[in-house]
């Protein structure tokens, strides 16, 4: 933390050093054996060429991250993004619709374009070459750096496909991110070709998995459960690509539903999409599935995480000082090899005057 007496020159030197440290971290991660060796899923080869594509873009992103003096559009061309996304589609489709993994793993909720805060989360919980990660969606919209945020996470997915997992959120759907900021960000920052970049992202989002199961007992998704969820095989059988999930699909509930202590069973969601569900409704779904805990995101919570239904569900939110308006903390949920859960909390940095307002849905 800089002192109040730090000169502008000292601040500049500190920012340059931070950027250099992150670049060194990226170089270190690529030197690992896991990045050099070829990796396979069934019949799809994820080779060093694809990892190198992710690595090259990642290095450039770190140059314009915290303390960086370069802008994204000056270092990453639209054609590079297209190449990156083409690789990502192959990676996502080569893996199951429901990711089944074991601990240890760190789980993060919404990050909404808060690129510098995701770097802070990695500073605190470990960069992906040292820790496994599962993100629960909503990488774009709201925040000012959705492109940097989603590109960094996509780079890590290319480099560490078996240890870094990204689920789709409701903001990774064209009907939402065309309205809430990402479309405008792409079209303005990449004036020539920006709309095509946005369209390429939508194609890639359509291939992303929607759910994950950790240690056979912990079910993870962006939104919540569905009244139509009576077997885990339904999650495993989701068809992809799915450009825009429709209201009659179970996928829409996985992306949109919310827990509610005031709901009576299943109630209409005030968002206008999907349902809210009561503690009893949650337990009736989970018990036959032999699921102990649901981990989801989708709602801002004051302390970064919040339990529901006698700890059968937890909401994790990972965008501190959300939108510059809420004074919420962010959380990273860590699940050990033995499925012991703990939380690391990231307190908000105040970029604007503090203005506390009542928390609401995202």
- Mind giving me the DSSP string for 153-173? HHHHHHH-TTTEEE---GGGS
Q: Where are the domains of the chain?
A: 10-346
Our answer to whether residue 171 is catalytic in this structure is yes
Give the pLDDT score at 360: 39
pLDDT tens per residue across span 16-41:
655 555 555 554 544 443 443 333 33
The percent of residues above 70 in pLDDT, for the chain, comes to 82
> Given pLDDT bands bounded at 50, 70 and 90, which one contains residue 48?
confident
- Among 112, 129, 145, 171, the active-site one is 171
Q: Return the SS3 of 115.
A: helix
Any idea which of 28-32, 52-56, 297-301 has the lowest mean pLDDT?
Answer: 28-32
> Given pLDDT bands bounded at 50, 70 and 90, which one contains residue 263?
very high
Closest listed residue to residue 296, CA positions, set 287, 305, 288, 309 = 305
Its CATH class, for the domain covering 10-346, is alpha beta
The whole-angstrom distance between residue 348's C-alpha and the CA centroid of its chain comes to: 18
Record the pTM. 0.86
DSSP state letter for 283:
H
pLDDT tens per residue across span 127-141:
999 999 999 999 999
Check residue 154 and give left, alpha or beta (phi > 0: left; psi -120 to 50: alpha).
alpha
């Amino acid at each position: 933390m800089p002192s109040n007496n730090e000169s502008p020159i000292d601040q500049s030197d500190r920012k340059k050093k931070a950027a250099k440290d992150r670049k060194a971290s990226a170089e270190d991660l690529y030197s690992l054996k896991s990045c050099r060796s070829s990796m396979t899923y069934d019949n799809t080869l994820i080779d060093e060429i694809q990892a190198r594509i992710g690595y090259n873009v990642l290095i450039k992103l770190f140059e314009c991250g915290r303390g960086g003096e370069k802008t994204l559009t000056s270092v990453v061309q639209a054609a590079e993004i297209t190449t990156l996304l083409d690789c990502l589609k192959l990676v996502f489709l080569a893996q199951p619709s429901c990711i089944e993994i074991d601990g240890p793993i760190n789980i993060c909720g919404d990050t909404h374009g808060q690129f510098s805060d995701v770097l802070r989360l990695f500073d605190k919980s470990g960069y992906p070459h040292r820790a496994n990660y599962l993100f629960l969606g909503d990488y774009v919209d709201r925040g000012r750096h959705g492109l940097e945020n989603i590109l960094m996470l996509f780079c890590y997915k290319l480099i560490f496909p078996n240890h870094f997992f990204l689920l789709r959120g409701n903001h990774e759907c064209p009907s939402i991110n065309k309205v809430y900021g990402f479309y405008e960000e792409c079209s303005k920052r990449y004036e020539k070709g920006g709309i095509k970049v946005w369209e390429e992202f939508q194609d890639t989002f359509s291939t992303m998995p929607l759910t994950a199961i950790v240690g056979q007992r912990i079910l993870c998704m962006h939104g919540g459960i569905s009244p139509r969820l009576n077997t885990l095989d339904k999650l495993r059988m989701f068809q992809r690509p799915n450009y825009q999930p429709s209201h009659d699909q179970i996928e829409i509930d996985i992306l949109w539903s919310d827990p509610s202590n005031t709901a009576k069973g299943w109630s209409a969601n005030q968002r206008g999409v999907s349902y809210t569900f009561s503690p009893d409704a949650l337990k009736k779904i989970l018990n036959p599935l032999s699921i102990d805990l649901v981990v989801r995101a989708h709602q801002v919570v004051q302390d970064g995480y919040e339990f529901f239904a006698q700890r059968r569900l937890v909401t994790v939110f990972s965008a501190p000082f959300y939108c510059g308006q809420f004074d919420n903390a962010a959380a990273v949920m860590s699940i050990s090899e033995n499925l012991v859960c703990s939380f690391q909390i990231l307190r908000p940095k105040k970029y604007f005057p503090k203005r506390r307002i009542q928390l609401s849905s995202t």
